Chain A
Amino acid sequence: MNAAIADVQPSGPLVQIRNLAKVYQRGKQKLEVLHHINLDIARGDFLALMGPSGSGKTTLLNLIGGLDSPSEGSLSVDGKRIDTLGESQLARWRAGNVGFVFQFYNLMPALTAQKNVELPLLLTKLSASQRRKNAAIALQLVGLADRASHKPAELSGGQQQRVAIARAIVSDPTLLVCDEPTGDLDRQSAEEVLTLLQRLNREHGKTIVMVTHDPKAAEYAAHTLHLDKGTLVEQGAG
């Protein structure tokens, strides 16, 4: 199985998960959060992960985004085994391949929207002017070009989340992982954010994996997967 995954061609699914398990050690207790998951996510897919609290959806999202390492099984993204990478290799891989969107935006409060969006580009070899230019394009894409010099505290929740999306896409990653991106937003802002994600998926070909509790949010995705007690239980169209 492993050898087969190592040979995954770029034309195959973007994400291939085989027999994936995650066990956390909490004191003397072992907590098995994910049980032998098998999953393929196609390039250009917009996948919603749903399930009750504690079902393991955020854990699965963290593993796909390379924030955590599995206890068992294998995980390949764009043909690269990421379950075998060390911490610093994973950091480099994340910088080039994944964009992250969080429930609470997680912007740097002391930096302007422009500087927040530029953050991932600091890890590239781009010049300062090129970084500024790319960040401006990303902000324009999310409709916030006129808010570039504003700090997060001067923006609404929806605007902050759009800045966070601009930060996630500025280095043009293949994959966007979004953890409850509308969980802290009112209905209208949530719809704007979801529409934006949908547009990034449809028009710019971004593969998106989104964790959500909200069935309405899941409707924006192309597919929805349900997790319960660490196991995939259902798969259907979004």
Chain B
Amino acid sequence: MKYFHLIWAALWRRKTRTFLTLVSIVAAFLLFGLLDSVRVAFTAGNNVAGAGRLVVTSKMSMQQALPVSLAPRIAAVPGVSEVAYADWFGGVYQDPKNQLFMFAVDPNYLDLYPEFVLPADQRKAWDADRTGAIIGAALAKKFGWKIGDKIPIQSTIFPSKSGGSNTWTFDVSGIFHAKDSSQQGSEQMMMFHWKYFDENNAFGSGEVHWYVAKVADPARADAVAKAIDALSANSDHETRAQTEQAFQAGFIKQLINIGFVVAAIMGAVFFTLLLLTGNTMMQAVRDRTSEIAVLKTIGFSGRSVLAMVLAEGVLMLLVGGLIGLGLVALIVPGMAAASGGMMPVHRVSSQTWEIGIALMLVIGLVVGLLPALRAMRLNIVDALSGR
């Protein structure tokens, strides 16, 4: 700390150059913070409630259906405390742009998701209404839907038996909220009765696309998953049971490998940053050759000088990086709000801060290393005589 003012003064010796370099560091860490927040939002493990759930799909593909008759057999597997099933329903409201996350679910589906809060009277009303649907608060807000509204939805896949067209009509029975703000993306969902779907679906019946099995002891989830898969082994509907986190990660990976995309973009950004700040540091130390020689003349050791230049590199990265991540912390809540719950993250995660600070330290040390070694090895006599 005794040398801090020296390091700080050296950093700001060329104000414009340092400012421009800091701007590029801020920009790099701003981009990193935003991308990593998206990555964390979509790939991080779910909450504790999700830890005890298994998702069972067809082993072949998620698009392959499974017989609904599997439900009682899964429920009978030791370690499974509850089972529910669901089907994907491609729904559009009024305009093809308004794609909905709609699921046909069995009556106890909500029991497996305590993180969705639906008032008891609304639950009761939904259970009693064959064409009833429950919608997330964000979805209700988006379209201005209220309890009691009748909503016509176009299915992109399933024709309705009753009307002969693809239009399905639902009654809004309830509006649910996410218990945890990190789950607000779920408030974009709409759920209705699988029974109504099955009876009114012109394409067939008795099939579901996935089961959700609650495991009594999450530590035994792997063993229970194997036991569930064993039920359908060598049949025409072999299953793959996996934890909810693994299922979600796999599902998102089918769309886009966010981790890879973030790593690739940030790799390019940080590589450029490394060259830029490395060059700045080299230039800065070259400019200060005589000053470093004077420090060594009056008794600063080579190691002290090495440490000061390294600290200068780290300080520059820390200042720029923390400003960048600080801006992300200000931006993310607004971004989440603007996404209407699609981006289920409301603050920069501790994981992003940790990775960010580690990157600042590592890049700072890397960019400082060559100039620091140069400063340490500087020959006083040569430097003072301008050689």
Contacts and interface: CB of A to CB of B under 8 A. Distances in A.
Interface of A: 58, 62, 65, 67-68, 87-88, 91-92, 94-96, 100, 102, 104, 106, 108-111, 115, 119-120, 122-123, 128, 167
Given A62-B381, A106-B294, A108-B9, 5 more contacts: A88-B303, A95-B298, A100-B298, A108-B6, A122-B2
B10 A110 contact: yes
A71 to B, nearest CB: 13
B158 to A, nearest CB: 72
B340 interface: no
A116 to B, nearest CB: 10
B384 interface: yes
A110 B13 contact: yes
A184 to B, nearest CB: 14
B300 A106 contact: no
Nearest to A59: B381
Contacts of A119: 6, 295, 298
Range class of the B interface residue count: 20 to 34
Contacts of A91: 296, 299-302
B299 A67 contact: no
Nearest to B295: A119
B18 to A, nearest CB: 11
Nearest to A89: B301
B5 A92 contact: no
12 contacts: A67-B297, A87-B302, A88-B303, A100-B294, A100-B297, A104-B290, A106-B290, A111-B9, A119-B6, A119-B295, A120-B298, A122-B3
Contacts of B380: 67-68
Given A106-B290, A115-B5, A122-B3, A96 B10 contact: no
Given A62-B381, A106-B294, A94 B13 contact: no
Nearest to B305: A91
A106 B291 contact: yes
A108 B291 contact: yes
Contact of B299 (A94, A104, A110): A94
